[in-house]
Amino acid sequence: MTALIWENSTDYEVGNVDQDGLWKKVIGELFEDFLLYFAPDLHAQVDFSEKAEFLQQELFQQIIKDKKGRKITDQLVKVHLKDGEEKWVLVHVEVQSDNEPKFAKRMFQYFYRIFDKYDKEIIALAIMTSPHKSEFPTEFRYTYFGTKLNYAYNTYKIVDHSYEELEQSDKLFSKMILAIKYMHDTREDVDKRYTFKMKLMREVIKSKHYSWSEIKAVFYFIDYLLRLPEELSEKLYDKMSVIMKKEGNGMVQFESEGWSPTMEAIFTRIHEKGEKEGIEKGIEQGIKQNKVELVLGMVKEGIPIATITKIAGLDEEVIKKLVGWK
């Protein structure tokens, strides 16, 4: 069983971006990729042929007692290990950004509450999303008259990972980390954010490493995290629709339901352009085949359009265009 506790950033303005919700969604949809990126050693031990089971959130509320006033997303996930043994692995994950002096103590408190309740192995991972360098402790130490305690946990700081490193990685969550870095670096420059967003989406589209469902989850995260004003959004839709049609590896034929707003707009543009091109091609073909007079004559005689389509061998939309109907 894997317990995920995901805490949102609190030391900077994020506008209307629901990072808690975005992280919760992407972890749920890409849990295997999440472990591959942040906990590769654990990932190697999990049997992913057995579907991970996300349990009810309420089960974990008894463990985390000090949630009041804090933005925390928590989940319980049951996984199976390759050794076949009946045991749990509890993974404790937080996203922390402000310089909280008691952070290490709180990490330990979460640990012992989980351990006391379940008595299972726990892997603790703290993910720092702040764009600023910080001196967060990576362990909690306690000593009092000879009683000593030392609790250490894993940390991942986004600020410590360069653009070059992330861009060279094929792991899906490297794209999410890139999106966070782009968000930080473009808070005051929407044109730069537009360029970064299009670049990142294009890289994901061109890659042959990801499935459609994986791309859908990544794009949802990127789209909502890197929001753009309407004018630049429209520009992005137009540019990306061309890129998608050219480099999308058949994605334009994929069912567009459930995609993020940007992807839905791109699919709409591709389909509308395809319909327009089809009608224009049909008109051109009709003209070349000297069928215009034939069609106009049948329309004048009041022949039903369904019959005209069969006789002329043209689509109904093409016939409507030829005679000026809407």
How buried is 119 (Cβ within 10 angstroms: 0-12 exposed, 13-18 middle, 19+ buried)? Answer: exposed
Query: Which pLDDT value is given to residue 213?
Result: 84
How buried is 150 (Cβ within 10 angstroms: 0-12 exposed, 13-18 middle, 19+ buried)? Answer: exposed
Other C-beta atoms lying within 10 Å of the C-beta of residue 281:
11
Please answer whether residues 135 and 170 qualify as being in contact, where contact means their C-beta atoms are separated by less than 8 angstroms: no
Cβ partners under 8 Å of residue 140, min gap 6: 104, 105, 107, 108, 149, 150, 151, 152
pLDDT-derived band at 2, boundaries 50, 70, 90: low
Q: What number is the average pLDDT over the span 65-91?
A: 65
Residue 6 parent element (H or E): strand 2-7
- For residue 188, what are the CA distances in angstroms to 5, 103, 109, 146, 223? 31, 30, 38, 53, 18
pLDDT, tens only, 268-319: 776 666 545 544 555 555 555 556 666 776 777 677 777 777 766 777 777 7
Query: Which pLDDT value is given to residue 310?
Result: 72
Query: Which pLDDT value is given to residue 128?
Result: 81
Structure token digits, residue 61? 């509320």
For residues 81 and 249, give the distance between their C-alpha atoms in angstroms, rounded to a whole number. 34
Query: Which pLDDT value is given to residue 12?
Result: 30
Please answer whether residues 172 and 139 qualify as being in contact, where contact means their C-beta atoms are separated by less than 8 angstroms: no
Query: Which pLDDT value is given to residue 8?
Result: 46
**CA nearest to 107, candidates 136, 78, 134, 81:** 136
Cβ partners under 8 Å of residue 64, min gap 6: 5, 72, 74, 110, 113
Q: Quick check: 183 pLDDT over 70?
A: yes
Q: What number is the average pLDDT over the span 50-56?
A: 75
Query: Which pLDDT value is given to residue 74?
Result: 59
Q: Quick check: 263 pLDDT over 70?
A: yes
Give the phi and the psi of residue 151 in degrees, each rounded to 5: -120, 120
Query: Which pLDDT value is given to residue 141?
Result: 94
pLDDT-derived band at 57, boundaries 50, 70, 90: low
Q: What number is the average pLDDT over the span 127-150?
A: 86
Q: Quick check: 266 pLDDT over 70?
A: yes
Structure token digits, residue 160? 């410590």
Q: Kindly report the three-state secondary structure assignment for every residue of 252-286.
A: HHCCCCCCCHHHHHHHHHHHHHHHHHHHHHHHHHH
Please answer whether residues 210 and 170 qualify as being in contact, where contact means their C-beta atoms are separated by less than 8 angstroms: no
Q: Which of 6-10, 88-92, 167-171, 174-178 has the lowest mean pLDDT?
A: 6-10
| Apex 211 CA angle, 4 and 16, nearest 5 | 50
For residues 121 and 114, give the distance between their C-alpha atoms in angstroms, rounded to a whole number. 9
Task: Choose the most confident range, by mean pLDDT, from 62-66, 74-78, 80-84, 262-266.
Answer: 80-84
**In this prediction, what percent of the chain has a pLDDT beyond 70?**
69
Q: What number is the average pLDDT over the span 5-27?
A: 61
**CA nearest to 165, candidates 153, 182, 177, 155:** 177
- Specify the length of the chain in residues: 326
pLDDT-derived band at 76, boundaries 50, 70, 90: low
Residue 311 parent element (H or E): helix 305-312
pLDDT-derived band at 192, boundaries 50, 70, 90: very high
**In this prediction, what percent of the chain has a pLDDT beyond 90?**
19
